[in-house]
């Protein structure tokens, strides 16, 4: 680590992997029918291009342990493939539910020592696909910019 550089504790570092933030081809797919399988969803996504990474999430504990969480993340090889997936899949019926397909954004959770509460400076809340592309700032630069506000 560089001298004088402070790191923040992250609760889900996989979301902040440098590749997924820099390439800008990561999508969030939500409102998944609980009956849809990981296999069938992946096969559907592969129709739009080469899938570099696919994260189908499950509940880790509690009454729903082992059940799908109702959303997933996918990284495509190119931005054009990701845009095509958004255009073709968003709002389409998959089993009994309409899919919600949007650009994924990183989520950073940190502890504010001054206020003794957690702060979410960057939301995982999916954005509209009509938003302008994000800048190529590094994760640390984005965090510093948010902290300066």
Can you give the residue ranges of every domain in the chain? 26-103
Predicted pLDDT at 133: 42
Q: For residue 69, what pLDDT is reported?
A: 94
In which band, very low, low, confident or very high, does the pLDDT at 105 lie, cut at 50, 70 and 90? confident
CB-based burial label for 65 (10 Å; 0-12, 13-18, 19+):
exposed
In this structure, whether the domain defined by 26-103 belongs to CATH 3.30.70.330 is answered with yes
> Once rounded to an integer, what is the mean pLDDT over residues 100-121?
66
State the pLDDT at residue 109.
Answer: 55
Q: Is the pLDDT of residue 27 over 70?
A: yes
Q: What is the pLDDT of residue 125?
A: 43
Q: What is the pLDDT of residues 44-99, one digit of tens each?
A: 999 999 999 999 999 999 999 999 999 999 999 999 999 999 999 999 999 999 99
Instruction: Calculate the average pLDDT of the chain.
Output: 74
Higher pLDDT, 42 or 1: 42
Alpha-carbon span 39 to 42, nearest angstrom? 5
């Amino acid at each position: 680590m560089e001298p004088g550089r402070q790191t923040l504790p992250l609760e889900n570092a996989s979301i902040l992997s440098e590749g997924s933030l820099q390439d800008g081809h990561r999508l969030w797919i939500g409102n998944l029918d609980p009956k849809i399988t990981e296999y069938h969803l992946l096969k559907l996504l592969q129709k739009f291009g080469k899938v570099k990474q696919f994260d189908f999430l499950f509940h880790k504990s509690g009454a729903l342990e082992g059940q799908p969480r109702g959303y997933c993340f996918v990284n495509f090889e190119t931005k054009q493939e990701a845009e095509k997936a958004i255009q073709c899949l968003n709002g389409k019926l998959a089993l009994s539910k309409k899919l919600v397909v949007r650009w994924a954004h990183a989520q950073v959770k940190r502890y504010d020592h001054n206020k003794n509460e957690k702060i979410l400076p960057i939301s995982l809340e999916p954005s509209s696909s009509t938003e302008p592309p994000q800048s190529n700032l590094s994760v640390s630069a984005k965090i510093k910019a948010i902290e300066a506000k």
